[in-house]
Structure 1
Amino acid sequence: MLSKVLVAYGTTNGSTARIAETIAEVLRKEGVSAEAVPAASVTNVESYDAVVVGGGLYAGRWHKDARRFVRRHGRALARRPLWFFSSGPLDATASQRDIPPVPGVKRAMTRLDAGEHITFGGCLEAGAKGFIAQKILSSGKGGDFRDFGQIEAWAARIGTRLAADAQQS
């Protein structure tokens, strides 16, 4: 029986953290023990039965903490059920259509045999850190484009899959 799922994430301004926390919360409602943890603080994944990894997108790349997490724990990740998510488009496109993973995430998915990837809308609001973030905000292109209904539905599918796998074990 699956008992514990790690939702590891890389974030700069907290938007991806909120997505990860929502995923963990939905998994718990589905009867799966889950916790959302910053990817940079995870030292070992051996105590987890499955892993979800997410990262904010910056200039076409996953957040550095998510990339480093996947490299550092690759062997262990390849031996467990694994899902990836990205957050980033600052418009409604992620809610309207499937956005494929960026090339680096696609390579990691193939290498680690990840089950699925999804891209969620991003969030960039006043107070965000970074020169580029400030430029985007000053141009009027910020906002919150996360679709929590979409996030919750995706997490529920993972919970259903994990529960089915546990019953077959």
Structure 2
Amino acid sequence: MLVGHASAAGSTREIAERIAAGLGDVADVVVRPLGPDVDPDEFDAFVIGSAIHNQEWLPAAVAFLDRGRSTLAHRPVWCFSVGGAAPRGPVSRAIIRMELERIAKSFPPGLVPRDHPVFAGIVVVDGLPLWGKLFWLALGGRPGDHRDWPAVDRWAADVATALAELRRDGARSPAHPLRPSPGS
């Protein structure tokens, strides 16, 4: 299983590593930055994550989905996005929904992840233009590490449960693309 990530400053990579740790009991997990050297055909399941910049996934993540579209269409895929601070009210929740809709439109046709949460990340306002700083303040955002590790762990556990069920079903059906997990 690939836990692939596109990270701008490391926060998404660290979340991907945490997710991978939660999947280790049900799959042989490889954590890799998404780039042209990652071959989707080498994996039977995917968790793909990206930082969100300007309401979009980073180009490396979108390029991986495009490059792997034929493989990903026939294998289980979960996605996650990493934004700024956790939504605190109706406006920020609406913005998250709009971001997810925009991100989903950038996915190849037919790719529908089994789940796609948005996790809070690290907000660094140094280097942002004034309008960017004002935007964060208007939404009630504050700089700092906003990652919710228990939420990441819960989601990884949910993915592990779903993957284990798929693997059990796959062990009974030779046509299923998933290989049994190690030790099964």
Length-normalised TM-score, structure 1: 0.80
Which of 101, 104, 126 aligns to 1:103? It is: 101
- Structure 2 unpaired stretches of 5+: 171-184
Counterpart of 2:19, as a letter, is I
- 1:6 is matched with 2
- 2:174 is matched with none
Q: Counterparts of 2:36 and 2:50 in 1: how far apart (Å)?
A: 14
Identity %: 28
- 2:19 is matched with 23
Quote the offset at 1:88 in angstroms: 0.6
Q: Say if 2:69 and 2:108, in contact at 8 Å, map to a contact too.
A: no
1:141 aligns with 2:142: yes
Q: In 2 relative to 1, CA 117–133 (structure 1 residues): closer, same or farther, beyond 3 Å? A: farther
- 1:165 is matched with 166
Moved over 6 A (4+): none
Q: In 2 relative to 1, CA 168–133 (structure 1 residues): closer, same or farther, beyond 3 Å? A: farther
SS for the counterpart of 2:19 is helix
Q: In 2 relative to 1, CA 38–133 (structure 1 residues): closer, same or farther, beyond 3 Å? A: farther
Q: Alpha-carbon deviations, 1:78-99, whole Å to 9, x = none?
A: 11000110001324549x9794
Q: Counterparts of 1:133 and 1:73 in 2: how far apart (Å)?
A: 35
Residue range with higher mean Cα deviation, 76-85 or 39-48 = 39-48
Counterpart of 2:13, as a letter, is A
Quote the offset at 1:66 in angstroms: 1.0
Q: Counterparts of 2:4 and 2:50 in 1: how far apart (Å)?
A: 9
Counterpart of 1:10, as a letter, is A
Q: Say if 2:36 and 2:64, in contact at 8 Å, map to a contact too.
A: no
The number of aligned residues is 159
Q: Say if 1:92 and 1:145, in contact at 8 Å, map to a contact too.
A: no
Q: Alpha-carbon deviations, 1:99-123, whole Å to 9, x = none?
A: 4352342232762132111000011
Q: Say if 1:93 and 1:121, in contact at 8 Å, map to a contact too.
A: no
Q: Counterparts of 2:31 and 2:118 in 1: how far apart (Å)?
A: 18
- 1:124 is matched with 123
Quote the offset at 1:59 in angstroms: 1.1
Quote the offset at 1:43 in angstroms: 2.8
Q: Say if 1:124 and 1:133, in contact at 8 Å, map to a contact too.
A: no
Q: Counterparts of 2:108 and 2:151 in 1: how far apart (Å)?
A: 21
Which of 34, 40, 44 aligns to 2:29? It is: 34
SS for the counterpart of 1:117 is coil
SS for the counterpart of 1:32 is coil
